[in-house]
Structure 1
């Protein structure tokens, strides 16, 4: 059996581990720009110096060697032959089953978006925030996130709540909080509703206690070098951090894979891509059936990747095999730099624990344990 996995992020690596566990003699090929994992959840700690760029980078060479993976460095240009061949700039990789775990991309269409920093774009963004904060003596910092109107799940709001609380705490620890005004903005009246019905009011209440102003329920029209423009008025700002909504990978337009209205790859509850045999998707690139609160986060990507890899092996072995389904679950710790807010949501309900110091350290411990498996 020959498996091709596109990507080197959370979903891709979980797929590799699952494939190797279930198909010990299979040929596994990974296609990605480089053999490196960037632990994006910890970018929130770059501005405070709790992490450096090197802390968040994991060279995957040894992991791939251990998993007996054939790694091909390249960027996907297209998928052909019903998913049986993947084309990069220099290679054509053939497979018996394909798992797409390439991630998505941010929608950069708002006018003036070049004036904002998008934190989860990578380490350079986190370092840019760190450097800008260090250079500022005073001023207004505006922080917010948007969405994809055609794909409600295609947003990443959790990290922006963390940046609000992390920056507020950092400035307080530095003894210069009174020199700064922090404003959180969002086009929704109740941002963060997918975290749980009562979560938005609790997060906004915590912001208010910390002196963070809010500008909610107004459509975002664009940005300038020193303002956020909304239908409810402009927000003057010296630094703007904004997380746009997400859509599918750029190469998707060069394929016949089915796209959702929001530009993601359409899959069923088994992570199978509609109309394509032995093609699966996991993580940010996929559009899945399920509850409207399903998240775009590493935990969800891991769940989907296990389902995809398991079903890929089963169907190649037995066409009538029982298939796994996605069990949607949201688990996160919204970090405040000193404390952490634990949030969990699944089909049974949701749970919210107010800021606890132990949760901050639990998040750091989880990072260490998670990366250990790839660092070897």
Structure 2
């Protein structure tokens, strides 16, 4: 059997899982290379706590290089600038990397430019990565010295609604701890047609539970909202309403990374890769994708565009499916399919000292089983899962 070269681009949930799964399936008979612009794995779900000083980088990240070395996986730290799909090359700011099979498992390009004034360099803050969360921490510290109205939300085209909800509720919990609830009007702005839509069309009684919880917490909300502009002192909505704000955090829409968007035929207009249910590219059979890089159509028609979240668990499932199919191509055997819609829906939503356990037998469409269980156990479950996940992944278990 010829020795094959498999290149994985990205080293977050999908990339890290995909690389280790490939080594498990292929043994040492083939070469696996991971190329990424960082050697840190960061547990993104914990960034909801970072701005409040509840986590440091060392608590929620680890260096992937020792794990890759132990598993005989080559790691290249570089910026991917594009792909030559005909010559089968990953183009970087260093040397080009040839491949026989390619798994694209990159994070998103965060599209702050889609809304005037949006983003850390302008008039709002972010928790999309650890650098953004660090800037948000400094902004929060300044805010506590001079509090006022707050706007939290997710703009048109956004998909990461869960992070917006969790940050909102954790921020509210911090306001209570600082005895600021009576001084800080709190508003949630979202592209969702109703609270608890989450970009997946809703789940169980999420709508009624969310509305009840928002009411109990004294949080006002605007659904079906477009963000027209983020200003230094407030947020202009498409309706013409201006919401005053001294601290604004709005999740923007995501795009595929520039390297995908700069490669003709690889991704769609927004830079996401269209695949079959085995996560294989529809025109280039040696190219696979997993995680945020994969195109998943929106769920139904909504007045304001809503994306579909491709969070940690679905990303890992996609990566394992893609890895199984690459291994089947190389070694023979059964190919696998796992439509995104059929991946289980698992989410632990933290609200500071409470939360909700959200479970469904699949992500999208009508479900046979779906549960939302509120209570303090969700908070403790989130903490336990964070520790379990980081321990197992740091030791190379996926």
**2 CA distance for matches of 1:245 and 1:346?**
27
| Cross-structure match for 1:239 | 247
TM-score normalized by the length of structure 1: 0.92
Structure 1 contact 257–265 (Cα < 8 Å) conserved: no
**Per-residue CA distance 1:190-214 (angstroms, 9 max, x = gap):** 1441241532332132111101111
Structure 1 contact 268–289 (Cα < 8 Å) conserved: no
Gaps of 5+ in 2: 301-306
Structure 1 contact 221–231 (Cα < 8 Å) conserved: yes
Aligned residues: 369
Structure 1 contact 83–98 (Cα < 8 Å) conserved: no
| Cross-structure match for 1:151 | none
Q: Secondary structure at the match of 1:14?
A: helix
| Cross-structure match for 1:323 | 336
Q: Is the alpha carbon distance of 1:351 and 1:323 closer, same or farther for their aligned partners in structure 2, counting shifts above 3 Å?
A: closer
Q: Does 1:310 align with 2:324?
A: yes
* Offset, 1:262: 3.8
* Offset, 1:105: 1.6
**1 CA distance for matches of 2:183 and 2:298?**
45
Match among 3, 6, 18 for residue 3 of structure 1: 6
| Cross-structure match for 1:281 | 289
Q: Which has the higher strand share?
A: 1
Structure 1 contact 30–71 (Cα < 8 Å) conserved: yes
| Cross-structure match for 2:390 | 371
* Offset, 1:236: 0.7
**Per-residue CA distance 1:161-204 (angstroms, 9 max, x = gap):** 00111011111122222221111011333144124153233213
* Offset, 1:29: 0.2
| Cross-structure match for 2:381 | 362
**1 CA distance for matches of 2:85 and 2:270?**
25
**1 CA distance for matches of 2:376 and 2:191?**
31
* Offset, 1:73: 1.0
**2 CA distance for matches of 1:91 and 1:115?**
38
Gaps of 5+ in 1: 149-153
Match among 161, 164, 167 for residue 163 of structure 1: 167
Q: Does 1:212 align with 2:227?
A: no
Q: Does 1:222 align with 2:229?
A: yes
**1 CA distance for matches of 2:7 and 2:41?**
18
**2 CA distance for matches of 1:350 and 1:175?**
40
Structure 1 contact 82–277 (Cα < 8 Å) conserved: no
* 1:13-92 correspondence to structure 2 within 5 Å: 13-25=16-28, 26-82=30-86, 84-92=88-96
**1 CA distance for matches of 2:378 and 2:87?**
43
